[in-house]
Amino acid sequence: ISAVIKNNLNPTWKHFSVPLQHFRGGDPSTPIQVRCSDYDSDGSHDLIGTFYTSLAQLQAAPAEFECIHPEKQQKKKSYKNSGAVLVKICQVETQYSFPDYVMGGCQINFTVGMDFTGSNGDPSSPDSLHYLSPIGVNEYLIALWSVGSVIQDYDSEKLFPAFGFGAQVPPDWQVSHEFMLTPSPAPSSPLWPPQVRLYGPTNFAPIINHVARLATQAAHQRTASQYFVLLLLTDGTVTDVEATREAVVRASHLPMSVIIVGVGGADFKAMEQLDADRGPLQTRSGEAAACDIVQFMPYRCFQNAPWETLAQTVLAEVPTQLVSYFKAQGWAPFKPLPPPAKSPAQAPQV
């Protein structure tokens, strides 16, 4: 179904796509019926006319087809047509999938940003969200392991840079929103939790901009060779709202997705504004995001579910976001995909 062109007796339709599977797997001779109707808001569209064609004829465009209204044709001998449709161009384009890009050599670069603001509580206290339980876990690490264990399969090195934000860091104990954590944040490491002072505020923009700079460098290569996924783990609502909005809007033009997982029992309603499911995210100046690249999910929704359930949910949109970005750029998989295997030829009968 094409877009509706209102109040126009000589409409020009924009480019639109139809899956090739609709034509018996792409058989160029399959008959195609095209119906042109006068749109009515109540759904009772009035037929203007129809014509029949095939994929082969459409690919020979430009081509013109007469729209015929069957009843008018039967009633009036002088009837010729109800207008004509001019097809300017018709092309068969390959639609690549997420596996196509991954198998084609696209590297998924995963980065973690973890909240070390004072609202988490003293890590030595059992009430703290950073406190390690007797079995060496907390909500932050469970969320990290859950998502990381899935996405590591798309990273050849399986090593992820991890940053902290919202803490005072040595040696001068200035507040930082972009400090490196240990190479491997695991309970077995004597450096975990890091030796910092939990402070504030909760600023996302610095880490988003950090990953965006890397994504910008990758985009300059003009190949589908790299994509970036940033996981932000936080216990509260973002403080630098406008700066974060601007960072996300800029990042929406890059090969990048942002996943935010809220840990603890805070009210995260304000966070949902970054997950622009109801409309494009906009900056204060009115600049809109090119697409929705943010997925927010509170961890408490998955406390009693298997670890992999959280990962499946928050990563569900990444394949579509990756494919949509590369498609918009017109970039095929980085490495040419091998041709499909042909069925072995039958031996001649003797």
Inter-residue contact 166 to 194 (CB < 8 Å): no
pLDDT, residue 340, reads 57
Judge if 64 and 189 occupy the same domain. no
Which residue shows structure tokens 């190479």? 183
Asked, for residue 344, whether it belongs to a domain, the answer is no
Q: What is the pTM of this model?
A: 0.77
Total tally of structural domains belonging to the chain: 2
Asked, for residue 168, whether it belongs to a domain, the answer is yes
Domain C-terminal end among 41, 60, 87: 87
Judge if 27 and 168 occupy the same domain. no
Query: Which residues are within 8 A (CB) of 253 and not within 5 positions of it... i.e. 6 or more apart?
Result: 290
The encoded tokens of residue 133 equal 């339980």
Q: CA–CA distance from 262 to each of 144, 238, 246, 292 (Å)?
A: 12, 11, 21, 19
Dist CA 82 CA 128 (whole Å): 73
Domain C-terminal end among 36, 55, 87: 87
The letter for the amino acid at 326 is F
Asked, for residue 12, whether it belongs to a domain, the answer is no
Note the residue count of the chain: 350
The strand ranges marked E within the chain are 31-38, 46-54, 63-66, 84-87, 107-115, 162-165, 167-169, 174-176, 179-180, 197-198, 226-234, 256-262, 294-298
Per-residue pLDDT of the chain (350 residues; tens, 9 = 90+): 788 888 888 889 888 888 877 776 678 888 999 999 998 888 789 999 999 999 899 999 999 999 999 999 999 989 999 999 999 999 888 889 999 999 999 999 999 999 999 999 998 899 999 998 888 889 999 999 999 888 888 877 788 899 999 999 998 999 999 999 865 444 444 445 578 999 999 999 999 999 999 999 999 999 999 999 999 999 988 899 999 999 999 999 999 999 999 998 887 877 877 877 667 888 999 999 999 999 999 998 888 888 789 999 999 999 999 999 999 999 999 876 566 555 444 443 43
Q: Quick one: which H or E segment has residue 176?
A: strand 174-176
Q: CA–CA distance from 9 to each of 38, 41, 70, 81 (Å)?
A: 10, 17, 20, 15
Judge if 60 and 180 occupy the same domain. no
Judge if 215 and 67 occupy the same domain. no
Judge if 257 and 295 occupy the same domain. yes
Judge if 53 and 137 occupy the same domain. no
pLDDT, residue 279, reads 73
Judge if 43 and 134 occupy the same domain. no
Judge if 40 and 174 occupy the same domain. no
Dist CA 338 CA 2 (whole Å): 34
Judge if 228 and 278 occupy the same domain. yes
Judge if 81 and 43 occupy the same domain. yes
Which residue range is the domain that position 188 belongs to?
98-329
pLDDT, residue 345, reads 44
